[in-house]
Amino acid sequence: MKTYNGSGKKKCAVARVFFKIKKNKIRINNLKINEYFNKKINYKLIFDPIKITNSKNLDIKINVKGGGKNAQIMAVRNGVAKALLNYNKKYKKILSDNKLLTRDSRMVERKKIGKVKSRKSKQFSKR
């Protein structure tokens, strides 16, 4: 049985996605998806690439680390889309039209010397 893989990133979160065509099962860091991402967070975004391509019977294993939960969800979404692209090259048009293959390159701006944060300054007093 062939394994297809893809990796996705968002901010500091990195997700490695592996899947086989078997039974419909998703594991994230050896936990079920609703155990890893609690109910409050909308983790249904992960299933967007699978719904758009009408893929079925995918046994998905995901390793994700770094960042917050929201960034991890977006990294997993990007990784699943790239893994589906490795599985079938015909999905490229569908996935790219829905902007699932592009990595969100926005990162946190670094803190500058003499400032409180990256742009916030100390309060200025004239007298």
Domains of the chain: 4-97 (3.30.230.10)
Amino acid at 118: S
The whole-number pLDDT of residue 87 equals 93
Q: How far is CA 60 from CA 75, 96, 123, in A?
A: 15, 21, 51
pLDDT over 90 at 39, yes or no: no
Q: What is the pTM of this model?
A: 0.88
Question: What tokens appear for 45 in the block?
Answer: 């975004």
pLDDT over 80 at 62, yes or no: yes
